[in-house]
Amino acid sequence: MKSNNKNISVPLAERFRPRNFNEYVGQEHLTSQGKLFRRSVEEGTLGSCIFWGPPGCGKTSLAHVIASVADKPFVSFSAVLQGVKEVRQIVDEAEQSVRAGGNNIILFIDEIHRFNKAQQDALLPHVEKGTITLIGATTENPSFEVIGALLSRCQVYVLQPLTDEDVAEIVRRSLSDKERGLGSFDVELPEDAFNFIVNISNGDVRTALNALELACLGVKAGENGKRQISISIIKEAVSSRKIAYDKGGEEHYNLISALHKSMRGSDPQAALYWLGRMIEGGADPLYIARRLIRFASEDVGLSDPNALVQAVAVKDAVHFLGYPECNTALAQCVLYLSTAPKSNSIYMAVKSVERAVKDTRNEPVPLNIRNAPTKLMEDLGYGEGYEYDHDSDYGFSGQEFLPNTIRNKTFYRPGKFGFEKDIKKRMDFWSALKHKIHNIDKKNS
């Protein structure tokens, strides 16, 4: 049985794009009836804008809908394949159209973050004059990837990943549409296969439609004229779930933040999950190990001194093994850190010292704890009055080491858990002993 679809050479994800707001699925915060964004499109007042959202959430489709509703010339442009030369040609044509009394054009630039600063600068005067209405699409945070001058002239709209319900609705429509979808193939898709497609898409409708089309074209019609697509066929069409991860982009920092905060919150299950997301996404294992070392001193510290030992050991293991063997070493360290007692006392002590160093004068080192390697320095009083602690009871002399102006400053306050309980006992003991020694010295003087 041959398909009646004349556009079968065009991929399903492309030919099934929505033509108006009624066909558009998702992004209800922008496209629902009465929303400001939709009204501005329908009233022809929408200015230049940037669509920021994950792959397959409908950025390009929304730009096509805008062009259709606005009834303006629409030029689609890829920042990956084209450059300033092509932009100038498009702008020249737009200026001729405006001078002739026509509308300006809608210039859609996909992956606008791929343009460098000079290329983005070239768009500025034309956006300002209104020669073009720019619609840029990006998966990257525009705060970092779009120059400030261009960003200030565009409204940024954040598009969310499609929900499973959104993806399911689009898949259903594509199966029934005989003009642009797969309706003419008479596809039978069992519930488990349908649910698998929706799940495997991970909010990316392009992934779902590509998998569905590949499975459909790879199956012959049965005697009843129907194409039976089982879940095993769908799994063949999609080799693995698409992992939403960008090694250098915002998602990279979102995931490491999730891992760090899960470990800090002593949630080993969540920490393992976020670690798994980073590993499957191809994150540099040495980067992960580096962050674990930082966590060991910042969030565990002396509440469990072995945490830093474990973290440094995993760095060596990762360097020695590499992927995929190092995944268990990373997991072992993540579990150790997640379940260790937590203390940020070292981190707070370092911050306190930094403030003191910045906010106080550079006091000279007290003479009694200076070294005196020469006769002149000895004559100047270097080292005079220093007490060798090992000659004192308990190996503790109780002498002062800080400059007088900050003598009573406390930088480190041990936490209440783990090994720091023992540290606190020691510090309390030395503090009491120091107080006793000073009282005796006062009496003797």
206 and 179 within one domain: yes
The answer on pLDDT for 3 being more than 50 is no
Predicted model pTM: 0.61
Identify the band that residue 258 occupies on the pLDDT scale cut at 50, 70 and 90. Answer: very high
Q: In this structure, what is the dihedral angle of CA atoms 422, 424, 427, 428, given to the nearest 10 degrees?
A: -110
Tokens describing residue 287 = 């980067």
104 vs 194: CA distance, rounded Å: 43
The lowest-confidence range among 36-45, 64-73, 292-301, 382-391 is 64-73
| 3-class state of residue 397 by DSSP | coil
Cβ contact 364:319 at 8 Å? no
Select from 324, 339, 354 the last residue of a domain: 339
Identify the band that residue 1 occupies on the pLDDT scale cut at 50, 70 and 90. Answer: very low
Q: pLDDT tens digit string along 88-129?
A: 777 777 777 667 666 778 889 888 888 888 888 888 888 888
- Residue 432 CA: distances (Å) to CA of 238, 304, 401, 424, 438: 69, 25, 17, 12, 10
Cβ contact 336:293 at 8 Å? no
Give DSSP secondary structure letters for 303-326.
GSTHHHHHHHHHHHHHHHH-TTTT
Burial call 256-295: b when 16+ CB within 10 Å, e when fewer: bebbbebbbeeebebbbebbbbbbeeebebeebbebbbeb
The answer on pLDDT for 341 being more than 90 is yes
Residue 11 lies in a domain: no
280 and 384 within one domain: no
Residue 393 lies in a domain: yes
369 and 265 within one domain: no
In whole angstroms, how large is the CA radius of gyration of the chain?
A: 33
Cβ contact 205:170 at 8 Å? yes
Q: pLDDT tens digit string along 270-309?
A: 999 999 988 887 888 988 999 999 999 999 999 999 999 9
Q: pLDDT tens digit string along 46-75?
A: 889 999 988 889 999 999 999 888 877 788
372 and 269 within one domain: no
Name residue 29's amino acid.
H
| 3-class state of residue 22 by DSSP | coil
79 vs 120: CA distance, rounded Å: 10
Cβ contact 154:48 at 8 Å? yes
61 and 95 within one domain: yes
Select from 322, 339, 356 the last residue of a domain: 339
Residue 38 lies in a domain: yes
Name residue 331's amino acid.
A
Cβ contact 299:271 at 8 Å? no
56 vs 137: CA distance, rounded Å: 11
Domain with 397 in it: 365-444
| 407 vs 167 pLDDT, higher one | 167
Residue 39's pLDDT is what? 93
| 202 vs 165 pLDDT, higher one | 165
Which candidate, 275, 319, 272, 313, places its Cα nearest to that of 296? 313
Cβ contact 203:55 at 8 Å? no
CATH number for the domain that contains residue 152: 3.40.50.300
| 4 vs 291 pLDDT, higher one | 291
Residue 357 lies in a domain: no
Residue 280's pLDDT is what? 83
236 vs 140: CA distance, rounded Å: 31
CATH number for the domain that contains residue 223: 1.10.8.60
62 vs 57: CA distance, rounded Å: 9
Residue 259 lies in a domain: yes
Q: Which long-range contacts (CB under 8 A, 24 or more apart) does 359-368 make?
A: 360/405, 360/406, 361/405, 363/403, 363/404, 363/405, 363/406, 364/403, 365/403, 366/400, 366/401, 366/402, 366/403, 366/404, 368/399
Specify the number of domains making up the chain.
Answer: 4
Give DSSP secondary structure letters for 185-251.
G-EE--HHHHHHHHHHHTT-HHHHHHHHHHHHHTS---TTS-EE--HHHHHHH--SPPP---TTSHH
- Residue 57 CA: distances (Å) to CA of 17, 202, 432: 12, 10, 65
Residue 346 lies in a domain: no
Instruction: Give the DSSP letter of residue 26.
Output: S
